[in-house]
Structure 1
């Protein structure tokens, strides 16, 4: 599960706060997702990589990402475009291949 929990403007950036939960029975060492940012009018803003790092099994974690040069007021959508990398016990794994449940507690839409 990936939830966009909050967005806030910080010095020169828009901070995105995610609540992430690994719903599997296996601890994940790294989970990296390709993310696309769209502005409030739906226009492509940028493509980036969010490294959600280690995700213990069945435990929630909070991860924050500062998107430099972006005003939160101009943020419209965040698209989880796909998995970039996933490792378990130091080796590439397909455990992250299943599309996570997505949710947003903000006015910014989270898509996948």
Structure 2
């Protein structure tokens, strides 16, 4: 067996030490990452609004919306400004839809028709604005911030 000079022995020790350090880092890092979980965030007060499905209606396309009021307020008036786009992003229609009354903690379904349009001509729906929003007799400021749109339909629902 050839004899190693002192420089070669030092390099061999360095290689072994760096391999061991890398091994420890790979094994220990996932365990450290799992220990530090971010604190659970408190649920945000809001109104979930889901575009559940679209189907052919009498004069156009019928839309089904499922809303859940996660706020302590009873909404007596809520009118949404919705804009419908085709698959290419061109505006097809704009409509005002009344979603009230909506009681605190209540889940409800609202159905409305988008007259004169085939459901297959839609690419997405935009929650453009909230035209009116009242809890009892008092106007609710920044009502659109309370709304959280989602979609189970074949098209998106965004704000």
Q: In structure 2, what is the equivalent of residue 109 of structure 1?
A: 156
In the superposition, the TM-score normalised over structure 2's length comes to 0.66
Name the one with the larger helix percent. Answer: 2
Q: In structure 2, what is the equivalent of residue 53 of structure 1?
A: 100
* Runs ≥4 residues deviating over 6 A: none
Larger RCO (CA within 8 A; separation ≥ 6): 1
Number of residue pairs matched by the alignment: 112
The answer as to 2:76 corresponding to 1:29 is yes
Q: In structure 2, what is the equivalent of residue 11 of structure 1?
A: 58
**CA RMSD after TM alignment:** 1.3
Q: Which has the larger radius of gyration?
A: 2
Give the drift of 1:95: 6.7
Question: Structure 1 stretches of 5 or more lacking a match?
Answer: none
User: Does the CA contact (< 8 Å) of 2:151 and 2:157 recur in 1?
Assistant: yes
SS at match of 2:105: coil
User: Does the CA contact (< 8 Å) of 2:68 and 2:108 recur in 1?
Assistant: yes
Question: Structure 2 stretches of 5 or more lacking a match?
Answer: 1-47
In the superposition, the TM-score normalised over structure 1's length comes to 0.93
Q: In structure 1, what is the equivalent of residue 137 of structure 2?
A: 90
Give the drift of 1:94: 2.1
Give the drift of 1:97: 4.0
Name the one with the larger strand percent. Answer: 1
